[in-house]
Amino acid sequence: MRTFFLFISLAIMSMSMHAQAEAFPSRVDVTGTGVVKITPDQVLISLRVENTGQEAAAVKKQNDQVVAAVLRFLKDSDIPDTDVQTEYIRLNKNYNYNSKTYNYQANQAINVLLKDLTKYEAVMNGLISSGVNRIDNISFGSSERINLEAEARKKAVQHAQQKAREYAGALGQEIGRAVKISEQTATVMPAVNMRSFAVADAAESEPTIAPGELEICVNVQVSFLLLADD
């Protein structure tokens, strides 16, 4: 009887181990990176109009007049309304501890998407002439970003598959189908990313841009089945 129960116990243990092996098959987990480079064909200009004074209404009116001139210039430059967006409008009351007085500062931030880089110099000069007194940032982009990201993803998966085959090959084994794929990061690295600077300072030198290249990088993690030796 004891032998019978021992046999049953061993059979159950064997079935349990087999079930666990099927539930948690051997696999190889790898990361893959896909990179695509492209020359930018558009630029996002983040600009700001600021004015300061003693009267809130007067400061706001002065700022609105400059903003209206900026928007007219952009319209006259054939920049579509859909490519011009107000980011924020602010009116702040500030206290000067030295003079013990208050003043008001009005500012409005606008983002302009310029899809023709050949117009960059003319647009920038026109913005400054219209009254823009700060350029906070410019960032280059591509109208083909979605397609390029898809291409980078394919390269990332192919890279992961190659790495998995190399790991398995070093063990004299092979990989099977992919059982899990997850995207870790998808980034676009611009060639130039200008920080905030006052227009008055920039006007002292001849403004130029160097779009260079955009680098679209996608990282994925893929799990492949690790086939057992025959």
What are 83-109's pLDDT values in tens digits? 999 999 999 999 888 888 899 999 999
Q: Tell which residue, 44, 131, 109, 129, has the closest CA to residue 83.
A: 44
**Total-model pTM:** 0.68
Contacts of 102 (CB under 8 A, 6+ apart): 54, 93, 94, 95, 96
Q: Rounded to 10 degrees, what is the CA torsion of 188, 189, 192, 193? A: 80
Give the pLDDT score at 52. Answer: 94
Which domains are seen in the chain, by residue range? 25-40+143-192+211-230 (3.30.110.170), 42-141 (3.30.70.2970)
Give the pLDDT score at 80. Answer: 96
Widest pairwise Cα distance in the chain: 102
Q: Tell which residue, 116, 6, 133, 115, has the closest CA to residue 69.
A: 133
pLDDT class for 46, splitting at 50, 70, 90?
very high
At residue 200, does pLDDT exceed 50? no
What are 107-128's pLDDT values in tens digits? 999 999 999 999 999 999 999 9
Contacts of 132 (CB under 8 A, 6+ apart): 47, 48, 49, 66, 70, 199
